[in-house]
Amino acid sequence: MRRLLQTAAARAPRIAFYPGDGIGVDVTDATLRLLEHAQSQHNFALETTVFDWNSSSYADANGGRCAPDDMIEILRPFDAIFLGAVGWPAARPDHETLEPLIRMRQAYSQFACVRPARTYDGVPTPLASGAPVDMVVVRENSEGEYVHVGGRVARGTPDEVAVQTAVHTRRGVERVLRYGIEAARERRGKLTLVTKSNAQRYGMAMWEDVLADLDCSGIEVDVQHVDACCMNFVRRPESFDVVVASNLFGDILTDLSGAVTGSLGLNPSANLDPTRANPSLFEPVHGSAPDIAGKGVANPVGAFLSAATMLEWLAPSGVPPAAGGAIRRAVEESLAARESTADAGGTLGTSEVTEAVMRRI
Ligand code: NAI
Ligand code: MG
């Protein structure tokens, strides 16, 4: 009884929804519907706020800024952030439109970008072997190749010079490697570090040195250069368990892990501050897909699984542990029944898939 009273008194977790651009809007709308249904079925409440920041109409009305200057302060009080996708190349260059996302990841120390990729019954893959795949890429998310360090001089002239520097700190590398080691211990006990130390003798060699200094007892450790790793993702993806990579390498590898396991549209992502000092950010791996935006055919499953991970992350705030699992199970069942969008081998649209998953919760 006392526990019940405490639960009733606790405030509902506050979630900021940032649909963004293109199919980011389509899959966020679908996720809001799904979460409303999950709340009624599993008896919990979320306080949701939707922000209309985007790279077209919002930016046009705000001097070209795709999100407010004080976005970090606005979002800080929330328990979690859910992002659809940002980017609309017809309106603005991608390096401007992606800026708010990178700002959140860095300002909130969301250093572990966790991106699972697995095969599903009912979803065809391009792989001949058909072996089941179940891997998770942990992408360093706060520094590396995506810090804004560099510059351009003599712009537009034949003498133009562009410098773009990657920054790898021992602290940053160590914390994401520790996260990967723990994840491997909780999964199948295998960690692959991806570098390119044969060509990048400072930054990438330091990654390998830092790993060598850490306690990896109880797990099998493997180091691969990123080019070889790309080949192995295609040749034998079933051999991977936990993969840790720098910001750029992890970004590239997770489009590939999505594609080899069925479709990029199925893949979730969590940008975590494991210390919980800042809000974490949940988003599908895919982008705004202008080629299919507004057509009602975007696969919402990557967004649904990101929402499931968000609910599990919010367990300390009172979300029932079963709610995220129920979404996962409903997704698996509907994929197995071929209730999926075209990219995943089905014939349904975004809203039919949403209804099919909701029926199974
Ligand atoms: P993309 O991921 O948007 O699309 C790549 C291909 O996959 C397209 O053919 C698209 O139709 C397909 N696809 C992606 N998600 C799908 C889904 N849910 N269902 C069915 N098909 C799906 O990558 P692209 O085309 O390189 O980038 C488009 C825009 O998105 C750019 O502005 C880019 O900067 C931005 N972007 C944003 C990201 C984010 O917000 N986290 C991540 C990646 C790209
Ligand atoms: Mg990417």
**Per-residue model confidence as pLDDT tens digits over 158-169:** 999 999 999 999
Residue 168 Cβ < 6 Å to ligand 1: no
59 contacts 75 by C-beta, under 8 angstroms: no
Checking if the pLDDT of 5 tops 60, the result is: no
Please report, rounded to a whole number, the percentage of residues in the chain having pLDDT higher than 90. 95
Nearest-CA residue for ligand 1 atom 32 is 87
Residue 85 Cβ < 6 Å to ligand 1: yes
Please report, rounded to a whole number, the percentage of residues in the chain having pLDDT higher than 70. 98
Nearest-CA residue for ligand 1 atom 22 is 265
Pairing of strands 80-85, 280-284: parallel
Mean pLDDT throughout 17-38?
Answer: 98
The DSSP symbol for 79 reads S
pLDDT band at 129 (very low <50, low <70, confident <90, very high): confident
Checking if the pLDDT of 48 tops 90, the result is: yes
Candidate from 23, 271, 286 with most ligand 1 atoms within 8 A of CB, to mutate: 286
- Check residue 127 and give its pLDDT: 87
Alpha helices in the chain (DSSP H): 2-9, 23-42, 57-61, 71-75, 94-97, 99-107, 170-186, 203-213, 226-235, 247-260, 301-313, 321-336, 350-359
**Per-residue model confidence as pLDDT tens digits over 268-322:** 999 999 999 999 999 999 999 999 999 999 999 999 999 999 999 999 999 999 9
Domains detected in the chain:
1-111+267-361 (3.40.718.10), 125-261 (3.40.718.10)
- Check residue 130 and give its pLDDT: 84
Nearest-CA residue for ligand 1 atom 37 is 287
Q: How many Å lie between the centroid of ligand 2 and the Cα of residue 250? A: 8
224 contacts 192 by C-beta, under 8 angstroms: yes
pTM: predicted TM-score of the whole model, two decimal places: 0.94
110 contacts 271 by C-beta, under 8 angstroms: yes
Query: CA triplet 142, 91, 73: central angle to 5 degrees?
Result: 40
How many CB atoms sit inside 10 A of residue 153's CB?
10
Q: How far apart are CA 172 and CA 174, in angstroms?
A: 6
**Per-residue model confidence as pLDDT tens digits over 101-122:** 999 999 999 999 999 999 999 9
Q: How far apart are CA 324 and CA 305, in angstroms?
A: 8
Question: What are residue 271's phi and psi, to 5 degrees?
Answer: -100, 100
Q: What is the mean pLDDT of the chain?
A: 95
- Check residue 179 and give its pLDDT: 98
Q: How many Å lie between the centroid of ligand 2 and the Cα of residue 196? A: 19
How many CB atoms sit inside 10 A of residue 295's CB?
12
**Per-residue model confidence as pLDDT tens digits over 223-245:** 999 999 999 999 999 999 999 99
Residue 244 Cβ < 6 Å to ligand 1: no
Q: How far apart are CA 164 and CA 147, in angstroms?
A: 9
- Check residue 4 and give its pLDDT: 47
- Check residue 8 and give its pLDDT: 46
Query: Dihedral, CA atoms, 245, 72, 269, 170, nearest 10 degrees?
Result: 20
For 1, 182, 199, 210, 327, the CA distances from 215, given in Å and listed in that order, are 44, 10, 27, 10, 35
DSSP line for 288-308: --TTTTTTT----HHHHHHHH
- Check residue 165 and give its pLDDT: 96
Q: How far apart are CA 35 and CA 56, in angstroms?
A: 27
Q: How many Å lie between the centroid of ligand 2 and the Cα of residue 44? A: 33
- Check residue 84 and give its pLDDT: 98
**Per-residue model confidence as pLDDT tens digits over 70-92:** 999 999 999 999 999 999 999 99
Residue 255 Cβ < 6 Å to ligand 1: no
DSSP line for 129-183: S----EEEEEEE-SSBTTS--EEEESTTSTT-EEEE--B--HHHHHHHHHHHHHH
